[in-house]
Amino acid sequence: MLMGFGGPEGEDEVMPFLERVTAGRGIPTERLREVGQHYFTLGGVSPINAQNRALLASLQAALRAAGVDIETVLANRNSPPFVPDVLADLASRGHRRVLGVATAAYSGYSSCRQYREDLGLALAASGLDLEARKLPPFYDLPGFAGTITELLLAALPAGLDLGADSTRLVFSTHSVPTSAARAAGPDGDAYVDQHRWVAARVAAGIRAATGIDKPWDLVYQSRSGPPSVPWLEPDVNDALTALAADGATAVVLVPIGFLSDHMEVIWDLDTQATQTAAGLGIQLVRTPTVGTQPGFVDGLAGRIANELRTGSAEPGPGQRCFGGCCANPRSSAPVVPGLDLDPLQ
């Protein structure tokens, strides 16, 4: 089961979708309408669902090529097909074991544990006779950083000197509350550490391919919380302003925190950050996300196949995933196991 965030597929779905996403957070309707305009500019259709359907098809083909013939389905948290409905359908057709694969590569509440809660809550509410577990974070797949590196190098325009001091390399990911970042992973701080791990390997790939040893920065985007709650910084727009003041004339912006070019990439980077860079006189080169690139898909399919065959994925560097990991900041909800190296709590 490929598990996505979900998104509207028509203008009449935009506000109900945003209300589901923000339920219980006290966000005013006026703010939701403001965010809704981002979707209305695309006809009310989020690109994420089509992107996840394409990823699902690519994963199914890669699994079959690896000798694993298994049904693959898509389920979403915030839009149809919803996780509980998909689980009920699978159970009605005789399935008894489900492996959830989140469309997020890193440890953290929103990127990992909440998907385990989606499964746990659905099973607890329905009483379905299903065994479910979730594939642990897969940021460490060689094909992930490797594909990002290949896409980055292919995106560089002719005439751009990547080795120049005035050309900066910036990696971007979704900001989260600092409290959630500190709680990520079994030992804390995994969310930031894993992104820095990927960024360092992309930089190493650039060095291997070009001989350029390029310094880099990690910045954040898509903050949605109230100003009184600390979130990870710097924001990408603030970072661009600081880089311009420091003499940057070009920035290669690499969204390593996302698998596809969905709304947050399109709006926060291709719209807002692009406008910020233009106002500062900076040439902004935004590289593509991994999407359905074969190097990434084949690596993820291999990780899934290993989990299906052995029942236990091989952990990455310092990676564990268990019951109490990445605690829910607001409540205690049932979860399904990830990589069961510790007792399920």
pLDDT-derived band of residue 339, with 50, 70 and 90 as boundaries?
low
pLDDT-derived band of residue 312, with 50, 70 and 90 as boundaries?
low
State the average pLDDT for the chain. Answer: 91
3-state secondary structure of 299: helix
Query: Is the pLDDT confidence value at 341 over 50?
Result: no
Tokens of 148: 């990002």
Tens-place pLDDT, residues 211-246:
999 999 999 998 877 788 899 999 999 999 999 999
Q: In what order do the strands lie in the sheet with 167-174?
A: 216-221, 167-174, 250-255, 283-286
Between strands 283-286 and 250-255, the pairing is parallel
- Segments in the chain forming alpha helices (H): 11-21, 29-40, 48-65, 83-92, 114-126, 142-155, 178-183, 190-210, 236-245, 263-267, 274-280, 294-310
Contact 55, 138 (CB under 8 A): no
Query: Is the pLDDT confidence value at 8 over 80?
Result: yes
| Mean pLDDT calculated for residue range 28-40 | 83
Positive or negative, the Cα torsion across 322, 114, 71, 55?
Answer: negative
**Ordered structural domains, the chain, with CATH:** 2-139+294-310 (3.40.50.1400), 142-286 (3.40.50.1400)
Place of tokens 């009184």: 228
pLDDT-derived band of residue 125, with 50, 70 and 90 as boundaries?
very high
Residues 6+ apart with CB under 8 A from 81: 73, 74, 75
Whole-number pLDDT of residue 187: 86
